[in-house]
Amino acid sequence: MREPISCIRWGFFLILLDIRLGRFDILPDFAGYYLWMVALTDMWENFPDARRLRSFCKGLAVFSLIDWLLDIEISLLTLILTLVSLYVIYGILTQVVTYAEREGYEEARSLAQMRNVMAFYQAGMVVCYDWLKGGWATIVSLGYVILQLRIILHLSYVVEAEEKKEQENKSSSC
């Protein structure tokens, strides 16, 4: 499970961190959705919801590739895709939390809490972001970036725990 969780972590990094040079996003979202599709394919046998989430990731990857190439702005479509993305992020984090809990990793609880905060935060941003002005928009955006980085960090902890477990299994089998 180390590889799928690592793909999920890097997918989050590409999707959630928006670094631009002018109009050009140097961390394209479609690459992150592709990594999630790879991870979810590897998780099919352990998690029944992974197949459904993978289908949503395909759609998000296609749209984000088109958006990346053409830079289109369609408000209703963007809103729908944001809500689908919210569902996929919540679902993927739920899969990782379920696995981490099953394996007894201490990161599971904090990752579950951050998953819930992320869902609340994203939903709130969809509803309220246009009303935020000046400093409040900056504070909300900064809080969101910090939350994203914490999620990536906790996913890294789970990957490290998996690596340690694999090393212990290799040393005990020799």
Residue 25 φ/ψ, nearest 5 degrees: -85, 115
How would residue 133 be classed by pLDDT, with cut points 50, 70 and 90?
low
Q: How confident is the model at residue 36, as a pLDDT?
A: 87
What residues pair up with 24 in beta bridges, in sequence order? 21
Look over the chain and give the mean of its residue pLDDT values, rounded to a whole number: 80
Q: Is the pLDDT of residue 174 over 60?
A: no
Q: How confident is the model at residue 121, as a pLDDT?
A: 79
Assigned token pair, 31:
């690459």
The rounded distance, in Å, linking the Cα atoms of 98 and 102 is 6
In 3D space, the residue among 132, 122, 127, 39 whose CA is nearest the CA of residue 87 turns out to be: 122
Length of the chain in residues, anyone? 174
Q: How confident is the model at residue 150, as a pLDDT?
A: 83
Q: Which range, of 3-7, 78-82, 85-89, 124-128, averages the lowest pLDDT?
A: 124-128
Rounded to two decimals, the pTM is 0.75
Tokens 């992320």: give the residue.
Answer: 118
Average pLDDT over residues 1-12: 81
Q: How confident is the model at residue 155, as a pLDDT?
A: 82
Residue type at position 64: S
What residues pair up with 21 in beta bridges, in sequence order? 24
The rounded distance, in Å, linking the Cα atoms of 144 and 129 is 12
- For 53, 55, 74, 86, 148, the CA distances from 79, given in Å and listed in that order, are 19, 19, 9, 11, 20
Cβ atoms of residues 36 and 88 within 8 Å: yes
Q: How confident is the model at residue 122, as a pLDDT?
A: 77
- R_g of the chain computed on alpha carbons: 17
The residue ranking higher by pLDDT, 5 or 34, is 34
Average pLDDT over residues 26-48: 82
How would residue 44 be classed by pLDDT, with cut points 50, 70 and 90?
low
The rounded distance, in Å, linking the Cα atoms of 127 and 131 is 9
Q: What is the pLDDT of residues 45-104, one digit of tens each?
A: 677 777 788 888 888 888 888 877 877 666 677 777 778 888 888 888 888 888 888 888
Assigned token pair, 171:
């040393």
Tokens 């099953």: give the residue.
Answer: 102
